[in-house]
Amino acid sequence: MPLHPDTVAVHAGRADFGALGVHAAPIDLSSTNPLPDILHGGDSYESMATGGHPLTDGGNVYARLWNPTVARFEEALSELEHSEASVAFGSGMAAMTAAILAHTTAVGKRHIVAVRPLYGGTDHLLDSGLLGAEVTFCHEHEVAASIRPDTGMIVLETPANPTLDLVDIAAVVAQSDGIPVLVDNTFATPLLQNPLDLGAAMSMHSATKYIGGHGDVIAGVISCSERTAEALRRVRAITGALLHPLGAYLLHRGLATLPMRIHAQQSSARALAHSLRENPAVSEVLYPEFDDERGLIGRQMRGGGAMISIRLAGGYAAAEALTGAVRLFTHAVSLGGVDSLIQHPAALTHRPVAPAARPGADVVRLSIGLENVDDLLIDLEQALAKARVQATA
C-alpha cells in the first residue's frame, strides 16, 4: 500500500543510511573526488557532463557534476512529487533559467507560451529576451492559440504570485499539443498539488520557500522525467548553477517537517482570510478557496495553501501604513517560512514586470507562518486600523 505523503516526507531519500551507518543525513562537502584511474574517471565524467549519473566504478569526479548530499534531496523530493527524477539548483531563478535553455535554444526552439500572472522574477526573465527566447504572454484559455511551430515550452504558476489565481493544469496540458508544460508549484508544495499527475512535464519550486521553510537557504528544484532531468543536469553542469551541499542538507531536513508546517499554516491562513473579509479596511481578500467556481480545490489542489493577498480600500497609502504598522509580521520579501511575512508586490517582487501586468498598488501579500492565529489576527487588525486612518487623513 502506498505510504501517506506525511510519512514519505520523513523517510524519503534515506535508503542508503543503513549501509552508511548513519541516522542523520551526512553532508559531503568535497569539491573534488579521487579518481580510480584515467579510463573509468573519464567515462564517469562524460556520463555526468552529458546529464547522466556517475558510473559505479568511476567516482563522482567533481561537485559541479554530482554530489551525494544533493542527490539524496533530489531523490526525496521526487518521491513527494511522483516523478522519476528531480534536479536541484542554486536558486529558483537558476532552475527556471535551466528549464528555458533546455527547452528552447538547446533544441532549436525559441518560443515560450507563458500564462500570467507569474512571479515577478520569472516574468521579467521571460520578457527580457536575455536567454534568446521569445515569449507570448496569455490567459489560460488562450494557450492553444498562442502556440507556434517553434514553441518549446509552456510556463504557468498556480496558485499564481501574488494574486493567487488558480490555473487548471489539466486544461492547459490539453491545449499543449504535446509541448512540455512547466508548473511553478512553489505556493502549493507537493503536499497540496502534484502537477505531474495532471500531465505537466515539470514541477518547479523555489525551494527557498516552503521546502526549506526556515528562511536560511536559497535553492530551486525541478521534478520531471529522467529524460528531462538529463537535459537539465547538462545545463546545470555547463552553467555551474549547482546547489551547495549544505543547502541540500537543510532542504532534505526541511522536508521532514513540511507536512506539519503546511497543514498548520494553511489552517491559520484559512481562518485569517475569512476574518479579513469582514475588515472595513480590506476591499477584497484573494485566497484560492474563495470564488473557486471550477472546483480546482479538491480536484487539483488539496486546500488553499498558506498565502493570502489583500486589496486595501485605501490603496497605496494604506499599504504603506500597513506594512509599517505590523508587529508580528516581518516586512520582507520571500515567503513560506515559519514566521509570517508581509510585502507590497508592485513595489518589490513584481517591480520589473511590465506595468500592464503588474499587480495593483492596493495589493499586499501575506505569508502566514506558525505563530498563534489569534495573535496574527490581532496584529493585522491593529495595523489595518492605522492604515485606514492614514489613508483617509
User: What is the per-residue pLDDT for 347?
Assistant: 87
pLDDT digits (tens, 9 = 90+) for 188-213: 999 999 999 999 999 999 999 999 99
**Segment holding 112, helix H or strand E:** strand 111-115
Distance of CA 95 to the CA centre of its chain: 10
User: Which of 3.40.640.10, 3.10.300.10, 3.60.20.10, 2.40.160.10 would CATH assign to domain 5-255?
Assistant: 3.40.640.10
Question: Distance between CA atoms of 118 and 141, rounded to whole angstroms?
Answer: 16
pLDDT averaged over every residue in the chain = 96
**CB-neighbour burial class of residue 256 (10 A; exposed 0-12, middle 13-18, buried 19+):** middle
Q: pTM here?
A: 0.96
Q: What is the mean pLDDT of residues 239-258?
A: 97
Q: What is the mean pLDDT of residues 306-312?
A: 98
* Integer angstrom CA distances of residue 45 from 61, 227, 236, 323, 357: 6, 18, 14, 51, 44
Catalytic center residues: 64, 119, 184, 209
User: What is the per-residue pLDDT for 243?
Assistant: 98
pLDDT digits (tens, 9 = 90+) for 328-359: 999 999 999 999 999 999 888 788 888 887 88
Q: Any idea which residue has 473557486 for its cell?
A: 292
Q: What is the mean pLDDT of residues 306-321?
A: 96
pLDDT digits (tens, 9 = 90+) for 128-169: 999 999 999 999 999 999 999 999 999 999 999 999 999 999
Q: What is the mean pLDDT of residues 90-98?
A: 98
Least confident of 125-129, 245-249, 389-393: 389-393
In order, the DSSP letters of 249-293 are: HHHHHHHHHHHHHHHHHHHHHHHHHHHHTT-TTEEEEE-TTSS-T
* Integer angstrom CA distances of residue 97 from 161, 163, 195, 239, 389: 18, 23, 19, 10, 44
Asked if the model's pLDDT at residue 393 lies above 70, the reply is no
Domain locations along the chain: 5-255, 258-392
Dihedral sign for Cα atoms in the order 115, 140, 100, 69: positive
User: What is the per-residue pLDDT for 390?
Assistant: 76
Q: What is the mean pLDDT of residues 278-300?
A: 96
Which CATH number is 258-392 given? 3.90.1150.10
C-alpha grid cell for residue 109? 526552439
5-255 and 258-392: same fold? Answer: no
Q: Any idea which residue has 501517506 for its cell?
A: 4
Dihedral sign for Cα atoms in the order 244, 246, 249, 255: negative
